[in-house]
Amino acid sequence: KNYNEEKGILYIAKELVKNNKAIRCPVPKQMAKMFKEILKVQKTLNKHWNEDCYVFSEDGLKHIARDTPNIKLKYIISRAKLGFHAVAHGNRTVCEDLWENRRFTASAINIQQDHSSQTGNQVRDRYKGKDDFFKERAKMLQWTADYLDKEIKHFMKKNNK
How confident is the model at residue 145, as a pLDDT? 93
- The closest of 124, 126, 104 to 113, measured between CA atoms, is 104
**60 and 53 in contact (C-beta within 8 Å)?**
yes
pTM for the full predicted model: 0.74
pLDDT at 102: 95
Query: Per residue of the chain (161 residues), what is the pLDDT tens digit?
Result: 688 888 999 888 887 777 777 888 999 999 899 888 888 888 887 888 887 887 777 677 777 766 666 676 677 667 766 666 666 667 788 889 999 999 999 888 888 887 665 566 666 665 566 678 899 999 999 999 999 899 888 888 888 75
